[in-house]
Structures are given as structure tokens and as C-alpha cells.
Structure 1
């Protein structure tokens, strides 16, 4: 027992990253102005927003490894080869080494953020004790927002590892002593947490918020609830949550699919949750960017000659590209994939694709040229920012680009999926939901939509985004889809192993 308590104390130190508080100004992600809780005067209610801004900042500042690890195992994505991360490439082949640093780092990233976010909620609760009037309601709203941020991160962790710890406060020792919860318990916890939060959240789109533009709202919480219920295969729950979003009439698809993933798509009416970054449109000084270099090419000829390239760690699969060519899904293919000459040649080696449509080119619609490079034949267009959209003198790959997490197209397709799985809904049919998504990219409407049709549409619409394809396939036991390009996938490959560093430290079984 003494040894167990020692491990718990060590973990508490590992997880308890101190809450970061920020001056409330226009720069949501800015790292200046940190203050400790000892410096706070809880009677100054207008400062209540500070810990909330800190919670958003810690959520936005994801490690570069997080989205890569979440998404790399799907048949839409390959890990770049010939790099300095061979165990990342092995993960893509379903060969897991629990000593791989990335597993442990992503584990720590998510749990560290959960503790930070919960700490923020506890600080806001301290302010609430002294609040009066409108500030009481604001405190409830802010605490609800931290619940959504915490729930989202629990959701992502459980999708990766299955059974994990539920952390409910910033001192996790009691939670750890309870042991890990099952994946289904995690998903129910997240769903219930969203139900707790929803009554206190703003009834608006994230981009309508004036206090924290792009901050979570009632509809973000409903989206997270729908995702949790999808993992539980509670399709009626999915239908009910997504129907509330659709029936609000507050969301619409961004008119230009290509630009949705570029600067014009930031804080779009389509986005329910996005990680926000900025270089503040200034040539120098403060900058808060996600590191998009892992997604970029190691060799390119950008229109803006000073624009930096990337590392080549994340490659759209040949399977996905051929799937899109078969559909003649031009807009989404050109948006999702940046081609190299070597990649184009590789496609054409298949006699069925010896002649390619004219829109297949290693020059993007924005004029940047992707050259051959050894690590990959293609790059993710959804993580590419045209060099002409870079702020002058800000040359890092994707500088100031946001990272979209949940968008309205996914809501529509989850609703359609739920209906094809037997759920009932009244706001629209599965055909209407799917065709709303298809019409944006000039795809012909479908009739009599089936589950297979919905899965194909999700593949086309959501490829390279947060592992949606992978988690769909394992939920539906479609292992044959993941056994592609020489891979063999089995049920034992669904979850990552616990990081060895955590097994050594924690009461994991």
C-alpha cells in the first residue's frame, strides 16, 4: 500500500501542471501576464475570465504529436517514411512499442491539460463565492465551459487507450485510487458531463461570442455528447444531440470547401470547435502557432519564396486518393491532398489510373508547387496553408492557421449515420443530411442512403481529420478496410498499449 501511495503522489506531481492565467486582452493565446493563484483577489469578479482564458490556452497549445498519433492509423493516412521517428511509422502498421516516447508524451499532454482545465474551474468557483448579480451566472457558464474542455480531452484519450482514469479535480489522487474506468464508462461520463454543462452555456455559434470568440457554446457540448454516444453505439442519443444542433438553424457549411481549411475558414459558421492560433498579422513579436511542420513537405517551391517547408510525417494514403478518383470527387480531393510528381507517377502505375484528370497536379490551386521528397509522395491539404496567405515575414509552415476539431458537416453525417443504424429523427432524412454535404462540393444527390453510403461520405468529407475514419472503422468492426497496402489489422490492434512509463508509475492493469 505504501508503494501505491508513493506512485500516486508521483503521478500527482506529474499531472499537476500549474494553471496558467492570462491578462484578458485580444490575444487569447498570448503567453504573457502569468499570475499565480496567490495573486488573485476573488472579490474582483471581472477578473473571473482570467482562469477561463488560461483553460482555453492550455487546450489550444497541443503538442504536434497529438493530432498525428490520433489520426495516423486510419486507411486515409500513412506515416511518412525514411524519417527519424521509425516507431511512428510502425504505429501506422499496427506494430506498437509501448516504450515509444510519443505514446507517453500524448498521455501526459492530455492528462496535464485535463488537470489544468479542472484547476481553472476550481478557481472560477472561488470567484463565484464572492460574486453577485450577473457574475453568478457568468461563473456557472465559465465552469460549464471547463467541463466541455475536460470532457473533450477524456474523449480523445479513451479513443486511443480505451480504459483510462476519469479525473474530476486538480488533485487526482482520489480519482487514481479508483482505478481505470472502462471505455464505455468514460463515454457515459463525458455524455453526462455535457448534460451538466449545456444548461449554462451560451445558445449561439462559437463565432458569435464576443467575450471569447470561438469559445465553446451549448452546441459544442452537444457535439461532444454526440461523439461520446457514437462511441457507445447509442445511435438514438447521437440522433437527439445532433438534431438539436441542426434544428437550431445556427450552423451552415462554409461555401468554399478548399478555403474552409485556410485563413478564410477561421471561425466559420461551420465550426463548432477549433483550436485557435495567431501571429496577430504582425511581421514580428508575439506569436502563438500550432506546429504544422510535421504535416508539410520537406521540399516545395512556394509562391512566397521565403516560406518554410515541413517534415513529411503525415501522408494521405494511395487508397484514399484512388477512392476519391473513382468518385470524381474533385473539390474534396484537391483540398485534401497535395501531390508530388513521384506521387502522381505512383498513381499512374496502376493501369486503372494510367490517365488522370487534369485537376491532378503538383501545383496547388494557390500556386505552391510540391516537389519530390523522400519521406512521402503526398501531403495533407487540410493542414496546408498557402504561402500567399502567410503574414509577411511569418515564414513558418502554416503560421496563424487554426486547427478545426468539430464542424457542422460531421454533425450532419453523424445524424445520417444514426438514422441508418435505426435511430429516429424528425428534422431531416438521412438522404437530406448526406446530400447537404455533397451539394457543397457539386456531388450528385443520393437516394435511399445506406450505412455504407454514409461511411463513404464520411471518408470523403472528413479524411485526415482527428482520426474520424479510423475510429469509425474499429467501431463498426470493418477490419478489412484497415487491412490495406500490405497491412493486417485485427481486434487486438484497436487500442494503443499503455505507455511503459505510465505502467511503471501507475496502478494500471
Structure 2
């Protein structure tokens, strides 16, 4: 943590630098997207890490809207707040899209703003490389590779949302925009190729083994993103090959405590291939770098630490997910993934098949925080919940200092298993072994003869509420019936969001 604190202090200096010399809105206009040698002293190779930290900062400082919009359309998640001021978000959950809704445009701008700044960072590092010598040349290649991985991740998320998007490769953004949008297939191929470019230059280690940037990108992060891109393309043999490399490295393992994986003890674990990092530096005041978790939190609760703040209630595990988990008696993952309210428990029991619930279903979490009734939602996401007794003393914001896991080894195992059930071959393990590793962690009975449907059920249970994984699986497999739940009707026309109206007014886009 001490190294991370020092790096983040460097980041503060870097952000000031970015405001003055690398601003997307100002610097690109002044110099037509090119940096002047007068801006920075590129002979100071020791400063080459600063633009890299800036690229990480852009990626970590996600708008709160991003994970909510990415995830809300799956049958694992409902939008909280039906009929309130966030009606556009609720409508998106119901597959009724208003391209004038502010959140669509905000998420578009968040991702493209980040991508442009990451490209700026890469180009800055390339300038440093021109003057580098000795080990700094290799370091420059590594840093450039890391920016490619960060850019690829953001392109992948955008294309999952909007399908056909612009690919941004240079700070002279107008050149890329003039080339028009690329199809989703082209974007995913670009991401896959970009990972191939990056992998040879990245550290061969887990993210938590890095000492320079703890939890930073490694070649396994890039392999994971390559696997995700090829999963979207249904290139199952490539998925099996790439995830098989990760498995065969023997570097990763499942964190033994599923509940604590999503809390502070699970940060920087051997399971995490990519996580967004935050810190309040274990201090009760002063600088803080946090994600805004309030949208995931309950609007009313009685926490063990009485000063801990509530949330907004915008993101709600679905009744369908909860009943699916009860039917499996999937206790550990259900208690981890869902925080219940009394009203929510009563709502489950209205169904004649669920009038008697398992004793482990309670509005009191394993850490003793009590989730009360509130208007917007009946449940909250436990994966985005930090127990109040894990907050740093004096830090009361909901989820303060909690990291945000993006890709973990469990997803790698399940992608590998699916690829094998879809006809790919792999020598790392069998599909049964991959699935049962995950089931064993949460004391679920092993299964045999795993099918694609079995893998999808396991992904539903294991990865619910995480980054829209369930939704993207269902549209990839054309399982529209799964998304047509609780009165919703899903059709192929609803797979992707419409382009935001503000962008239609500015850019060469067509809905």
C-alpha cells in the first residue's frame, strides 16, 4: 500500500500536468493532436511512468454510470427506482431506449474521453522512448503495451453496448472519425490483435506480483481481454487456447472465501486478473481516490458502524436470479451476491413455491449490517457492498476504498469450459473439472457431462451482477427467452443501445 500511495501521489502531479499539456479538449486543438517537445523533457526517462499512471487513472476513474448501464439489462439485475427521476435507466432495463437520455451520452463520453487520454499517454511514452537507453527501452515497450490493453478493454466495453463504434488509434481523433464506425466484428478483431501486439512486452506474472504498479496489467490481463473479444466473435477454439494458457500457467487460483473475495480481504488476490484500484490511504481524512458505490447501495440501512452512509438504490438483483439460486440451494453465492430487505423477503414469499425460505435468507448481512426497506428497490447487490466494519475509521462513504473487480479467474475457467462444450479442444483440464473447481469453492455438489447450458447456469450463479456478463452471454447465444422475464419482452432489435442523440448531432453516425 505504501508503494501505491506513492504512485498515487505521483498521479496527482501527473493530473496537473495533463490539465496543462495533455488536455483532450485543448491540447489536441492547439497542436492538431501532436505533443510538442517543449511540453515535456523526454530525456528524463525516469518520468516515463507518469503518463502510464495517467492512463491507469483514466481507466480507474470510471463514472458511476458505466457499470450500471453495462449491467442493467441482464436477467440478473433490475433498475431500482421505477417511476422516479431515473426513468430512462428503468426503461433501458425494460429494453425501451430513449437516445436522448443523459446516461447514454455520458457513458459514451466517459469511454471515448478515456480512450483518447490513453492514446495520448501511449504517444507520450513513445516520445520518451526516442530518447531512452538501456533498460528504459524495454520499459517503454512494456508501458506502451499496458496502454494498449487499457484501450482494448474500453473499446470492448463500448462495442458490447453499441456494436458499431469508432476505433481510436491516434490523438488526432478526427482521422479515426473520418474512417467511420467499424462493425462489432471489426472492433473485436481489433481488440484481439491489439492484445497480440501487447502480450510479448508484458510481465509474465499475476497482477498482484507487480511491485512497480501493484495490481497493474500483465500478459494474463491481455490474454483475458483477448479471450473476451473472441468469445463475442464465437471463436471458441481461440477462447479455449487463450484461457488454456492462463490456466496452464498455474499462477492463478480461486480465492477460498467467496464472500470476502468482494470485500477488502479479496483485493489483489490470486484470482484477480484485472481490478480497478482505489484507496483512502487508511487515513481518516485527506486525499482519497474512490469509486462512487452509492448507486449500488441501500437508501436505508442500519450499519454496524453507525456513521456509515447509505446509498441510492439504483441496482437491484432480480427476483429471477434469487429464485434460481434458492432452487439450487446455492447458499454462499446467494448470500454474497444479494443483500435482502424485509420487503424483498416478503415479495419472494408471495410466490406459493417460496412460502418457506431457507434460514440463511435474512436482511442482516454476515457482518451484521441491517438492510431496511426503501422505496427504490427490494434488494441490493452484495458484490458491490462493503461491510461498514471494513470502512477505514472516519471514512463513511458507502464502499469507500473498495476496489472494483473486473476480470477474475472464475470467469476464465467458465469461458474455457464453454469453449469446450461448443466444440473446441483444450488440454489444460476438462470442462467438468473447470466447472467443478468453481462449484467446490462454494460447497456445491460436483456435476458430470457438463453441457453449454450447465456452463451458462454456472456463469449465472457465479458472475451475476458483474459487468453485464449474463446479458452479453444471452444475446450472443440468442437466448432471448431468458431475457423476456417479469413482463419484459426481448427481441433482437434491443440487443444494442441506440447512439446518443448528442453524438448523432456531432458525428457521422446513423442509428
TM-score range, shorter chain: over 0.9
Q: 1:27: which partner in 2? A: 8
Q: 2:419: which partner in 1? A: 418
Q: CA deviation at 1:31?
A: 3.3
Separation in 2, partners of 1:302, 1:230: 41
Q: 1:213: which partner in 2? A: 214
Separation in 2, partners of 1:293, 1:119: 31
Separation in 2, partners of 1:271, 1:395: 26
The answer to whether the Cα contact below 8 Å between 1:246 and 1:412 also exists between their aligned partners in 2 is yes
SS at match of 1:449: coil
Q: 2:47: which partner in 1? A: 47
Separation in 2, partners of 1:307, 1:468: 30
The answer to whether the Cα contact below 8 Å between 1:29 and 1:288 also exists between their aligned partners in 2 is no
Separation in 1, partners of 2:5, 2:141: 19
In the TM superposition, what whole-angstrom CA distance separates every residue of 1:57-104 from its partner, at most 9, and x where no partner exists? 011000000000000000000000243211100000000000000000
Separation in 1, partners of 2:58, 2:341: 36
Q: 1:226: which partner in 2? A: 227
Unaligned stretches of 5+ residues in structure 2 = 22-37
Q: 1:449: which partner in 2? A: 450
The answer to whether the Cα contact below 8 Å between 1:24 and 1:53 also exists between their aligned partners in 2 is no
Q: 2:323: which partner in 1? A: 322
Q: 2:34: which partner in 1? A: none
Q: CA deviation at 1:30?
A: 5.0
Q: 2:429: which partner in 1? A: 428
Q: 2:409: which partner in 1? A: 408
Separation in 2, partners of 1:100, 1:162: 18
The answer to whether the Cα contact below 8 Å between 1:29 and 1:57 also exists between their aligned partners in 2 is no
Separation in 2, partners of 1:463, 1:367: 23
Q: Once structures 1 and 2 are overlaid, which stretch shifts more, 311-320 or 34-43?
A: 34-43
Q: CA deviation at 1:311?
A: 0.4
C-alpha distance 29-421 of structure 1, shift in aligned 2 (>3 A): farther
**Equivalent residue runs for 1:6-405 within 5 Å:** 25-27=6-8, 30-32=11-13, 34-35=16-17, 36-37=20-21, 38-82=38-82, 83-405=84-406
Q: 1:3: which partner in 2? A: none
Q: CA deviation at 1:369?
A: 0.1
| Superposed structure 1 runs of 4+ greater than 3 Å apart | 28-33, 36-39
In the TM superposition, what whole-angstrom CA distance separates every residue of 1:148-186 from its partner, at most 9, and x where no partner exists? 000000000000000000100111111111100000000
SS at match of 1:470: helix
The answer to whether the Cα contact below 8 Å between 2:5 and 2:281 also exists between their aligned partners in 1 is no
Note the aligned Cα RMSD (angstroms).
1.1
Separation in 1, partners of 2:377, 2:344: 8
Q: CA deviation at 1:25?
A: 2.3
Separation in 1, partners of 2:172, 2:446: 52
TM-score, structure 1 length as denominator?
0.94
In the TM superposition, what whole-angstrom CA distance separates every residue of 1:234-286 from its partner, at most 9, and x where no partner exists? 00010011000000000000010000000001111100000000100000000
Separation in 1, partners of 2:504, 2:174: 16
Unaligned stretches of 5+ residues in structure 1 = 1-22
SS at match of 2:437: helix
The answer to whether the Cα contact below 8 Å between 2:439 and 2:446 also exists between their aligned partners in 1 is yes
TM-score, structure 2 length as denominator?
0.94
Q: Once structures 1 and 2 are overlaid, which stretch shifts more, 288-297 or 28-37?
A: 28-37
Q: CA deviation at 1:40?
A: 2.1
In the TM superposition, what whole-angstrom CA distance separates every residue of 1:382-418 from its partner, at most 9, and x where no partner exists? 0000000000110000000011000000000000000
Q: Once structures 1 and 2 are overlaid, which stretch shifts more, 169-178 or 195-204?
A: 169-178
The answer to whether the Cα contact below 8 Å between 1:163 and 1:182 also exists between their aligned partners in 2 is yes
Separation in 1, partners of 2:476, 2:451: 17
SS at match of 2:6: coil
SS at match of 1:406: strand
SS at match of 2:380: strand
Separation in 2, partners of 1:170, 1:207: 31
SS at match of 2:204: coil
Separation in 2, partners of 1:500, 1:49: 38
Q: CA deviation at 1:28?
A: 6.5
SS at match of 2:8: coil
In the TM superposition, what whole-angstrom CA distance separates every residue of 1:431-488 from its partner, at most 9, and x where no partner exists? 0000001100000101000000000000000000000000000000000000000000
Separation in 2, partners of 1:353, 1:65: 34
Q: 2:33: which partner in 1? A: none
Separation in 2, partners of 1:431, 1:353: 31
Separation in 1, partners of 2:425, 2:203: 27
Separation in 1, partners of 2:318, 2:55: 35
Separation in 2, partners of 1:174, 1:31: 31
Q: CA deviation at 1:355?
A: 0.5
SS at match of 1:47: helix
1:469 equivalent to 2:470? Answer yes
The answer to whether the Cα contact below 8 Å between 2:273 and 2:408 also exists between their aligned partners in 1 is yes
